Structure 1
Amino acid sequence: MNVFIRVDASYEIGTGHVMRCLTLAHRLKKEGKTIAFICRRAEGNCIDLIEQQGFYVYKLPTCEGSLWTYVLEQWETDAKGTIEILQQHYVKKLIVDHYSIDVKWELAIRPFTKKIMIIDDLANRQHDCDILLDQNFYLNKDARYDGLVPPNATLLLGPNHALLREEFIEAKKYIQPFKGKIERLFVFFGGSDPTNETEKVLLAIKPIIDQYKLIVDVVVGNSNPNKLKIKRLCNEIVKAHYHCQVNNIAELMTQADLAIGAGGATTWERIFLQLPTIVIAVAENQIEIAKATHQKGVCIYLGLYNEIFIKDIQNAIGEMLNSNILINKMISNMENFFTSGSTE
């Protein structure tokens, strides 16, 4: 086995880590690499999805309580379970995308792989790695990992290294110029949406959808614990279309004039497709990214989920609906973001 990927998903963690690792896995597979995943069982995991996409998954046992906390506190157990898998193979590279894994775990794993690649965006712990990828945009991105990685580690920093799926690269060819009026909304808060922002947005849209003659595409993942509730709410709203675990999300984005979503990995997909967005951070680690992209004029950041109410969302949508200047300015800022914005 050439490459192993250690990543988890759950209701608590969400699906973003797995989704970006799947994007990377497909790229490596095209290059002729053999890929396998190592995932711990948990409620809301993406193991079936990974297997459906053609990759073998080595499954670590289910843990009690928080998956984040378990891997952080029981790192030796997690490393031991991973080593038992790795030592059966010749491993050229181990890719790790996990906020609870740091230098201690990596040093234990080091004898069983030629190279270690870390995917991160927190810059809050030390790593023993050969490559570190952080696809996010920060105003201080070039200095964030100073002292946290070995001096000879290769750093891949900024959205120019974003793990964009092939469907987004293809969809970019079909972007249409803004028609001068917002007619279609795209709502997506990640695969699990643990704070249920989707419902909050739908309740904000419901009283104004007829007034503005809007069409709304609502996307949820299979791991969203509120998906049936969201589906019922969409059925109550005329021209609100419910989509669950779709494989044409890029197409839906290109059809939209305005998105409302979280500040995670989808940020780069929206910017790449030049889709103006109202952002609500659903986790603390999304705040810095959302503020930085807001400052660059490529989104409107409202705040952290527990500070944002239905009326705030309504007001933000209303402002966007009544300001073509703002929409056009955001689109203009997004046009060159991947070539210039990430290097400033």
Structure 2
Amino acid sequence: MGKKIWIKANGNGIIATGHIRRCMTIAQELKSLGAEVEFVLSDEDSANLLQTLSDEEDIQYDARILHTVFSEPMQDIEILEEMIADEKPDFYLMDSYFLKEDYFDVINDIIKKNNLSTKTGFIDDLYKFDYPVDLVVNYDIEIPKDFYSAPHKLLGAKYAPLRKQFEGIDYDVIPIAKRAFLSAGGTDPYHIVGSLLKEVYENDGPCRKIPDFMLFTCDVIVGALFEEDYVKELKELAAKYPAITLHESTPDMAGLMKSCDFAVTAGGTTLYELCAVGVPTVVYSMADNQVEFVKAFDKSGAVKYAGDLREDDRIVQRIVAWGIAAIDNQEFRKKMSDKARKLVDGGGANKIARAILEII
């Protein structure tokens, strides 16, 4: 039997899909290396999301539901203690913004009390405290020196856990951009996707004065947690303007990105994917954990940062202006593409999986 790996992650309309998505990628690499992987989920919402995303990827994961509140992880402990003592997992990987020091302390006490060899890991991007785990993963570009004391540290963009399809892609930057990629991630609480489409195709703005821009095609990713009424609105826009193509399920995301000449996305896993492919990208933030890391990407020259959706009501116009300027500026897009690909190589999930198996 392979090593037994448990992964704690959740996803829903509040915390979006990012935690489960990146853990699925690591889980897939672990499974390919012979490990037994099981997700530990708080509730049915997370289980449904895991199933939806698994169907998209055509790979299934074992999971158990604790029937607790995702934002109150200490509710897990009574159930987890018995599970850990009885089943003796080799590794417990945690990915949740709601975990506090007391959670880690109790998990470590359970392991010690039962004389187990279980190792622990945490995926971090908030720097709340020095996490008492055996392995910490943080794939930000800029990480404070000596912040973590974990014996095993996987730090930097090379550890971004991306799907296998994002490794080793050849990307061409063509002279005149003709196709845009538009994403907000798993959820779009500010409806920026719809606002951008309306600015380009309906409003009486700069785009209406540039015939070539109106011939642009736009590939739009419809996130798994977009509201039903909002999806209906986007479908109505796509029906009205043939240049708009909606993608509600995209198994070959890398192939779709490769076919596009520039992109617009929120900070998150999609940004790392676009960088791995080499698509010139303008990025915006819409959550606290996104702000500093997208600014670091901007500083590196790999992307252009448009601002924070929550604070700046001119972001839509700024993004469209960037798109207009980028259409015939091949050199500008090429520089961004080259810098992005140097930052992210697409092999992070495999590096994480191998590191986990090496310490257990």
TM bucket by the smaller chain? 0.7 to 0.9
Is the deviation greater in 86-95 or in 108-117?
108-117
For residues 129 and 289 of structure 1, the distance between their equivalents in structure 2, rounded to whole angstroms, comes to 23
> Are the structure 2 counterparts of residues 240 and 50 from structure 1 closer, same or farther at C-alpha, using a change threshold of 3 Å?
closer
CA apart distance, 1:227: 2.4
1:49 is matched with 52
Matched, 1:259 2:263: yes
Tell me if the contact between 2:184 and 2:223 (Cα under 8 Å) persists in the aligned partners: no
Q: Identity over the aligned pairs, expressed in percent? A: 23
> Are the structure 2 counterparts of residues 167 and 152 from structure 1 closer, same or farther at C-alpha, using a change threshold of 3 Å?
closer
Corresponding residue SS for 2:87:
coil
| Structure 1, unaligned runs of 5 or more | 340-344
Tell me if the contact between 2:44 and 2:65 (Cα under 8 Å) persists in the aligned partners: no
CA apart distance, 1:286: 0.7
1:184 is matched with 179
Matched, 1:12 2:14: yes
Partner AA of 1:115 in structure 2? K
CA apart distance, 1:61: 1.8
CA apart distance, 1:42: 5.8
1:59 is matched with 65
> Are the structure 2 counterparts of residues 126 and 176 from structure 1 closer, same or farther at C-alpha, using a change threshold of 3 Å?
closer
**Residue of 325, 333, 338 corresponding to 1:327:** 333
Matched, 1:242 2:243: no
1:205 is matched with 200
Is the deviation greater in 181-190 or in 226-235?
226-235
For residues 160 and 309 of structure 2, the distance between their equivalents in structure 1, rounded to whole angstroms, comes to 25
CA apart distance, 1:77: 1.4
Tell me if the contact between 2:176 and 2:329 (Cα under 8 Å) persists in the aligned partners: no
Q: Deviations over 1:62-120 (max 9, x none)?
A: 54xxx4xx32xxx4212223334333312000000101113211121123461101011
Aligned counterparts, 1:1-344, within 5 A: 2-41=4-43, 43=45, 46-49=49-52, 52=55, 53-61=59-67, 63=69, 67=70, 70-71=71-72, 75-110=73-108, 111-112=110-111, 114-138=118-142, 141-143=143-145, 146=147, 149=148, 151-169=149-167, 172-173=168-169, 175-207=170-202, 208=207, 211-212=212-213, 213-225=215-227, 226-306=230-310, 307-309=312-314, 310-338=316-344
The alignment's TM-score, normalised by the length of structure 2, stands at 0.83
For residues 163 and 49 of structure 1, the distance between their equivalents in structure 2, rounded to whole angstroms, comes to 19
Tell me if the contact between 1:10 and 1:46 (Cα under 8 Å) persists in the aligned partners: yes
> Are the structure 2 counterparts of residues 301 and 79 from structure 1 closer, same or farther at C-alpha, using a change threshold of 3 Å?
same
2:357 is matched with none
| Structure 2, unaligned runs of 5 or more | 346-360
The alignment's TM-score, normalised by the length of structure 1, stands at 0.87
For residues 308 and 332 of structure 1, the distance between their equivalents in structure 2, rounded to whole angstroms, comes to 31
Runs of 4+ residues deviating >6 angstroms: none
2:354 is matched with none
CA apart distance, 1:48: 1.8
Q: Deviations over 1:114-156 (max 9, x none)?
A: 1101011111234210000011212xx152x62xx4x352111
For residues 339 and 236 of structure 2, the distance between their equivalents in structure 1, rounded to whole angstroms, comes to 37
The alignment yields a C-alpha RMSD, in angstroms, of 2.1
CA apart distance, 1:191: 1.3
Is the deviation greater in 199-208 or in 158-167?
199-208
Is the deviation greater in 101-110 or in 159-168?
101-110
Tell me if the contact between 1:102 and 1:126 (Cα under 8 Å) persists in the aligned partners: no
Greater RCO, 1 or 2 (C-alpha within 8 Å, sep 6+) = 2
2:358 is matched with none
CA apart distance, 1:50: 5.9
For residues 333 and 122 of structure 2, the distance between their equivalents in structure 1, rounded to whole angstroms, comes to 36
For residues 152 and 134 of structure 1, the distance between their equivalents in structure 2, rounded to whole angstroms, comes to 12
Q: Deviations over 1:286-326 (max 9, x none)?
A: 11111111111111100001214332222222122243332
2:349 is matched with none
Partner AA of 1:321 in structure 2? I
Partner AA of 2:22 in structure 1? R
> Are the structure 2 counterparts of residues 335 and 9 from structure 1 closer, same or farther at C-alpha, using a change threshold of 3 Å?
closer
1:342 is matched with none
Is the deviation greater in 328-337 or in 119-128?
328-337
